[in-house]
Amino acid sequence: MNLRLLAAILRRKAPVANLLRELSEALFAEVRCDGMRFDLTDERGGLWSRIVKAGQDPERPALGAVARLRTREAFEVTQEEGVHQVVVPLGIGEPASGRWTLRRRSVPFSETELDAVRGIADVLSLGLRARTLEPPPKPRGPFEEGPLV
């Protein structure tokens, strides 16, 4: 498992939205899955979510597709209609500050893969805390219409 690469990506001083493509490519190399979703709480307590599929850019899920974070998130391994899913709480301390969900259709996640996922979740929890999620808006040009930033 190459946690150094993940740590190097997360050490950059950039918003999560700018790092997510490269971070997810490194995660797909570590854990075999079809797709993953990141659900993180933002500065105002709202939920910031992105779905990432192998080889594609991260995209925002549809409205209502993401459940709110529970006060007690737990590590869960489930299987529904041939889709195997692992839900990993992210954050330090009791209330989870995020959730990382992995899905795949082929075979269930093995114990060694689940141990690797737990280790990666620890690195993600440390690297994603106190980080802005979206880049700041670009300032308005002198001849553009719209609100001043």
- C-alpha 27/C-alpha 39 separation (Å) is 16
Read off the pLDDT of each residue in 86-110 and give the average, rounded to a whole number: 87
Which residue do the tokens 């979740």 mark? 121
pLDDT tens digits, one per residue of 3-52: 889 989 999 988 999 999 999 999 999 999 999 999 988 877 788 899 99
Query: Of residues 35 and 130, which shows the higher confidence score?
Result: 35
The pTM for the full model equals 0.83
- C-alpha 31/C-alpha 34 separation (Å) is 10
- C-alpha 39/C-alpha 51 separation (Å) is 9
Handedness of CA 145, 60, 118, 55 (dihedral sign): negative
Read off the pLDDT of each residue in 118-142 and give the average, rounded to a whole number: 83
Read off the pLDDT of each residue in 63-81 and give the average, rounded to a whole number: 81
